[in-house]
Structure 1
Amino acid sequence: MSKIERRALLAGLTAAPFAAPGILRAQAARPVQIGLLSDMSGPFKDVGGPGNRVAAELAVQDFGGSLLGRPITLRQADGQNRADVSAGLAREWIDNLGVDVLVDGAASSSGLAIQEVCREKKRIYLITGPATSDMTGAKCSPYGMHFGFDTYALAHGTGTALTKSGGDSWYFITSDYAFGHALERDTMAAVRANGGKVLGAVRAPLNNADFSAFLIQARASGAKVIGMALAGVDLQNCIKQAAEFGITRGGTKLATLLVQVTDVVALGQRTCEGMVYTDSFYWDMTEATRAWSRRYIARMNSPPGLQHAAVYTGVTHWLKAAKEVGGLDADAVAARMKATPVNDFYNDNVRIREDGRTLHVMYLWQVKPAAEARHPFDFNKPLATIAPEDAWRPLSEGGCPLVRA
């Protein structure tokens, strides 16, 4: 906010007690503001980014465009996957612009910082970009609701399946920030719990272009599975270079622990054939998901991924709860959100737990051969359905201080 804007805001607040009733009514009818802090230019732009705004716009449109007699507006900014930038924007939006709810967050480190601001300011945070399971673990907040995925579910879905099918030795290539660390930790736990061994790990910087040295180390370890605790463009670069190196020719499997449909679009179906991954949403699951996705594709020319669906789910559920309680008080709305099942085009009576974890049904998917595709973006076939009680970390193991002993 500029100095001029700030002075104008302060002047308006000073004059408020003497304002005419009509002016006060106009202030009372200010728009309900939804703010998305996203990656608009970095490695997670395609999996979230501008598509998250489209998903939020569809949610607002389906809700009717207004809440409590006030129009609903959206704003979006680039958090740059930096905790300091994201926290600063969150604070500015809440303190000076009156944003009512925050969404997305992109990188896990950014999301954790946003969650702390929202805890302090008593604003609900709809977590859709960050994947670290710490969001509903030791770092949980009464105002944080985690939609979509987390590292525990991703790790236990893919990690358990591959270890049980014979991939009993692993080496990890891991993004060197909060998300990568959490995904590596949770996958290692799943591998060991199913009788596998971890032979080593290497850390790669965020937004890295060259994975050749890391892939050479992984191949030299002799591991049967190379676990890629990566996301976005980093994951795409590592997969492409693994193909160039012929990593899988000797029988080594690649465990792509966080794949989204936008990654398959970017890499091409032939490059991704046979990849196995865990996700709660696929655009071509049902008639309802296809109908919603067609609206999204008309705007973005690409199918929606899990984060886009999660934004729609989170925003819709928040709007419904605020309407039901008749206000925007964060404590009241959060209580209603947790007390009310989530229902939309891909969730059927899904519960939000007291730690903020949304207990979606998860699925194990495999990218099918391009020759089997019947239409554009026909990428996946289902391998398994994972019930919520098997997909998500037990409430007693997360360390969330909101959970009663």
Structure 2
Amino acid sequence: MKPVTRSCILAAALLAALPAFAQISDGVVKLGVINDQSGPYAALTGPGSALAVRMAVEDMKAQLGDTKVEVLVADHQNKPDVGLTIVKRWFDVDKVDAVLDIANSAVALGVQSVIKEKNKIALYGIVGTTELTGKQCARTGFSWVHDSYALVSGPARTLTKAGLDTWYFVAADFAFGKNMVQEAKNFIGANGGKAVGEIFHPMGTSDYSAFLLQAQASNAKVVAFANAGAQLVNAMKQWKEFGMQEGKQRPVSLLLSITDVHAAGIDVMQGLSGTSAWYWDRNDNTRAFARRFFERHKAMPTESQAGMYSATTHYLKAVLATKSDATDAVAEKMRSTPVNDMYARNATLRDDGKLAHDFLLVTVKSKAESKAAWDYYKISAVIPADEAYIPLAQSDCPLLASAAAKAK
């Protein structure tokens, strides 16, 4: 048996002093993108979000060096049971480190429970329910794009104050639609307006005639749609067919996406107002990313897809900074580092998990105003982050109490 030398003891001491998390488990960082790949929200998120994640990985390749990154993709079909089965398998069997996008409120709330149990990271895209960063907030769950409060605060406050003070809602009959309607009603009432009615439609609805006729009969000054994707497209096509585009009622989308405008046609969507977390034609940086994305996807990126590029990049930078894919180390680094990229400037992750960034109040241009394909939005206002999100003092996220105690 060889004697233990002083150099051996010193080497052992140095190794023991190294951070336990300074390594990549299994030699690879695994990301799982799960969303609606083929249903009503596929254009808004779907394959485009998976592409955005892959683009972020590719763009980080020089910095990543020998660090391997794998991207898995799955379709949850907007079914919580399907989504949770996939996510649990990813964590337990495939050793996925973080899941991205999700893009469905019911699925996201289920995923939030899973990441708490298994201590994993989730980077949510267009998840509307405020419960995700409210009562169900998680230390490792981050809402990157928007929630219902941020989407409705701009148009509900601005339009109501401008005299468009009676609202009727046509909404999808699941967690997202119901949460959007409730948040909008809160804002309308607080600003002197009134919600005169609401009607909820099933996910797979294609005939909106009965819903639109009820909205028309309400004589509300605003008809607000709390749905998206193919649902909004079909509803607006029938809005035009019924001659409601020529009427006095103002259409507002509580979740407006450029892909929906493109699918329906600008002649159908013109005059529709809404809030967007991001727009491709805002500045040189957004346009540069959008052109690269378009070359591969043949459509301009949505706010959700741009957000997933940003979230992936921020996550991988945290992995590099900590030399680890350990959940606690990476999540802490993400929280302590501002986000500055083509998606958001000087944005920060709040203690409730929201990425606090500015929003845009937009209106779809008329055919005469639009100069080219995808030139669809007029930006009427920038809503600063401190106005867009629910104040932390009003949040019911349990994490805030512990954060306040730490600060003392």
Give your verdict on TM over 0.5: yes
Counterparts of 1:28 and 1:284, CA distance in 2 = 40
Counterparts of 2:113 and 2:241, CA distance in 1 = 42
Larger deviation, residues 174-183 vs 67-76: 67-76
Q: Does 1:163 align with 2:160?
A: yes
Counterparts of 2:333 and 2:28, CA distance in 1 = 22
Aligned-residue identity in percent: 38
Counterparts of 1:350 and 1:310, CA distance in 2 = 12
Q: Which residue of 2 aligns with 1:368?
A: 365
Cα deviation, 1:289-331, whole Å, max 9, x if unaligned, reads 0001101000111100000011001111111111111211212
The answer (yes or no) to whether the contact 2:307–2:343 under 8 Å persists in 1 is no
Q: Does 1:260 align with 2:257?
A: yes
Q: Which residue of 2 aligns with 1:229?
A: 226
- Look up the equivalent residue of 2:230 and give its one-letter code: V
Counterparts of 1:107 and 1:345, CA distance in 2 = 24
From 234, 239, 251, the equivalent of 2:236 is 239
Q: Does 1:74 align with 2:71?
A: yes
Q: Which residue of 1 aligns with 2:385?
A: 388
Q: Does 1:335 align with 2:342?
A: no
Q: Which residue of 1 aligns with 2:312?
A: 315
* TM superposition shift of 1:235: 1.1
* TM superposition shift of 1:65: 6.6
Q: Which residue of 1 aligns with 2:349?
A: 352
Larger deviation, residues 288-297 vs 268-277: 268-277
Structure 1 residue ranges without an equivalent (≥5): 1-26
Counterparts of 2:153 and 2:205, CA distance in 1 = 26
From 157, 181, 184, the equivalent of 1:187 is 184
The answer (yes or no) to whether the contact 2:126–2:147 under 8 Å persists in 1 is no
- State the Cα RMSD in Å: 1.5
Counterparts of 2:388 and 2:176, CA distance in 1 = 18
* TM superposition shift of 1:274: 1.6
Q: Which residue of 1 aligns with 2:91?
A: 94
Structure 2 residue ranges without an equivalent (≥5): 1-23
Q: Which residue of 2 aligns with 1:270?
A: 267
- Look up the equivalent residue of 1:167 and give its one-letter code: L
The answer (yes or no) to whether the contact 1:29–1:70 under 8 Å persists in 2 is no
Q: Which residue of 1 aligns with 2:18?
A: none
The answer (yes or no) to whether the contact 2:35–2:45 under 8 Å persists in 1 is yes
SS at match of 2:51: helix
SS at match of 1:186: helix
- Look up the equivalent residue of 1:374 and give its one-letter code: K
From 270, 289, 293, the equivalent of 1:292 is 289
Bigger Cα Rg:
2
- Look up the equivalent residue of 2:277 and give its one-letter code: S
TM-score using structure 1 length: 0.91
Q: Does 1:51 align with 2:48?
A: yes
Cα deviation, 1:151-192, whole Å, max 9, x if unaligned, reads 101111111122122111111111111110111111111111
Cα deviation, 1:17-55, whole Å, max 9, x if unaligned, reads xxxxxxxxxx96532111011101111000000001110
Counterparts of 2:283 and 2:157, CA distance in 1 = 26
SS at match of 1:377: coil
Q: Does 1:40 align with 2:37?
A: yes
From 171, 174, 196, the equivalent of 1:174 is 171
From 322, 325, 335, the equivalent of 1:325 is 322
